[in-house]
Homo-oligomer: A and B are copies of this chain.
Amino acid sequence: MFSFDIHARCSQTSARVATLQTPHGAVQTPVFMPVGTRAAMRAMTPDQVVATGSQIMLSNTYHLALQPGADIVARLGGLHSFMNMPLPILTDSGGFQVFSLPKTITEEGVTFKWKKSGAPFTMTPESSIATQEKLGADIIMAFDECVAYPCERQYAEASVARTTRWETRCLEAKTRDDQALFGIVQGSVWEDLRRRSAEELVPLDFPGYAIGGLSVGEGLEIMDEVLGYTTPHLPKEKPRYLMGVGLPEDLWCGVGHGVDMFDCVIPTRHARGAVLYTFHGKMRVSNNRYRKDRLPPDTTCPCYTCSNFSRAYLNHLFTCDEVTGTTLAAIHNITFLQELMAVIRQSIEDDRFEEAKRAFFSKYGSSFPKDHKHRRPEDDPA
């Protein structure tokens, strides 16, 4: 039901192109997964999500466990049926909320203090897996602790050990064989801790490995460094997933380090703020300079928004707070990232990844370091 077949590799970096098979269809990697936290992409219908060219989406276990509750989703036939989503789905484990929400951590699990109303909410490796089995995504994630950045080394070290114990419990708790359970490597920004985490988790033989604990404020330079010394310790033949990461700079960086999967809420969150991503850089379409602009957001973009609407119309919608503006911006931003991933995949197949990266940033005009070099390919002796 699951497989991961690599069919092209970059000769200068660790980038590769592969097909990830899931019960709901095949996914071409490297892939960007848009996030519908509460079983809905903000201001979009599922058919609009599919039309962006997205191949797989992500939803959040913590939020769904609280509302509507996993039992209701299960009763309605699981997430795919509940939200009418034909694409493969990945659910996170709640581990990221251990970072982002107030909580108390014990060996047993995590008690979250934040909850709209009622009693505190406890999540354990076992309950996370049970919840994710009820939700029924194609790929589910081990329950880990995503530590803050910066973080005391002593704390990170203890956390890595506990995360290994938790992930072991996740494997033991798992009962469904139509879901792939991915492990998550932690270790903050210490090379030996990242290696230790990987070395402890790889023998557990997860079908895929995520790199957690990044995109928590450390910045691209440090992320680049961490990826450089983490990915080589993950199995080459299995998918690698960089969690919570998805800006264009991060995607090129991650792919070069051999990452296959990405997710990020920023493109849809920024859509609400009228920020559009294009191959010529970001634009805030609510800016007065676009008030009379006849052009679409991106003249080369094939999305519904760029095919049918001007910057002036989008400017108008955002100026008068019409939520249709958010819908059109989200459609564009997600399509843009899918187009970008297609460019990246093609560049790897053509073995001109670094060249394509430079060409992209010469137009996109970001602060991505011009002299950035990925480490040597993983196939070389490290």
C-alpha gap A234/B140 in the complex (Å): 66
In contact, A317 and B40 (Cβ under 8 angstroms): yes
Q: Are B45 and A312 in contact (CB under 8 A)?
A: no
Residue of B nearest to A321 (CB): B38
Q: Is the CB of B316 within 8 A of A68?
A: yes
Is A231 positioned at the interface, with any CB of B under 8 Å from its CB? no
* Residues 1-55 (chain A) with a chain B CB within 8 angstroms: 38-48
Query: Contact flags (1/0) for A268-312 with B, using CB distance below 8 Å?
Result: 000000000000000000000001101000000000100011101
Q: Which residues of B contact A67 (CB under 8 A)?
A: 316, 319-320
Is B68 a contact partner of A315 (Cβ separation < 8 A)? yes
Stretch at the interface among A206-214, A324-332, A368-376: A324-332
Q: How many copies, total?
A: 2
A83, CB-defined interface residue at 8 Å: yes
A313 at the interface (CB under 8 A from B): yes
Judging by beta carbons under 8 Å apart, are A75 and B320 in contact?
no
A322 contacts chain B at the CB level, 8 A cutoff: yes
Query: Provided the pairs A47-B304, A67-B319, A67-B320 are in contact, do residues A312 and B76 lie with their beta carbons within 8 angstroms?
Result: yes
How far is B327's CA from A48's CA once the two chains are assembled, in angstroms?
A: 12
Known contacts being A84-B308, A313-B83, is A75 close to B292, with CB within 8 Å? yes
B-contacting residues, A74-109, CB 8 Å? 75-76, 82-84
A41 contacts across to B, CB distance below 8 A:
324
B82, B313, B328: the one contacting A313 at CB < 8 Å is: B82
- Whether A264 sits at the interface, judged by CB under 8 Å, is no
Beyond A39-B316, A84-B308, A327-B327, is A72–B322 a contact (Cβ under 8 Å)? Answer: no
Interface string of A120-157 (1 = CB under 8 A from B): 00000000000000000000000000000000000000
Contacts of A84 in B (CB 8 A): 308-309, 313
Q: Does A158 contact B (CB under 8 A)?
A: no
Tell me the smallest distance from the CB of A357 to a CB of chain B, in Å. 34
> A50: shortest Cβ distance to chain B, in Å?
12
Q: How far is the CB of A66 from chain B (nearest CB, A)?
A: 9
Q: Are B47 and A322 in contact (CB under 8 A)?
A: no
- Interchain CB contact under 8 A, A42 and B323: yes
Residues of chain B with a CB closer than 8 A to A45's CB? 48, 304, 324, 327-328
C-alpha gap A223/B40 in the complex (Å): 42
Known A-B contacts A84-B308, A84-B309, A304-B47; the reply to A40 vs B72 at CB < 8 A is: no
User: Given A47-B304, A75-B292, A304-B47: A42 and B322 within 8 A (CB)?
Assistant: yes
Rounded to whole angstroms, the CA-CA distance of A67 and B84 in the bound complex is 37
- Of the candidates B42, B46, B63, B319, the one whose C-beta lies within 8 Å of that of A68 is B319
**C-alpha spacing A43/B44, complex, angstroms:** 9
Interface residues of A in 322-380 (CB under 8 A from B): 322-328
Give the CA-CA distance A116 to B84 in the complex, in Å.
41
- Measured between C-beta atoms, what is the minimum distance from A283 to chain B in Å? 18
Which of A83, A325, A326, A328 has the most B CB atoms < 10 Å from its CB? Answer: A83
* B residues less than 8 Å from A312 (CB atoms): 68, 72, 75-76, 82
Besides the known contacts A38-B320, A42-B323, A45-B48, 8 further A-B residue pairs in the complex with CB atoms under 8 A apart? A39-B313, A41-B324, A42-B324, A43-B327, A67-B320, A68-B316, A84-B308, A323-B326
What are 20 inter-chain pairs, A to B, with CB distance below 8 A?
A: A38-B316, A39-B313, A40-B317, A42-B323, A42-B324, A45-B304, A45-B327, A45-B328, A68-B291, A68-B319, A72-B312, A75-B292, A76-B294, A76-B310, A82-B313, A82-B316, A84-B308, A84-B313, A323-B323, A327-B327
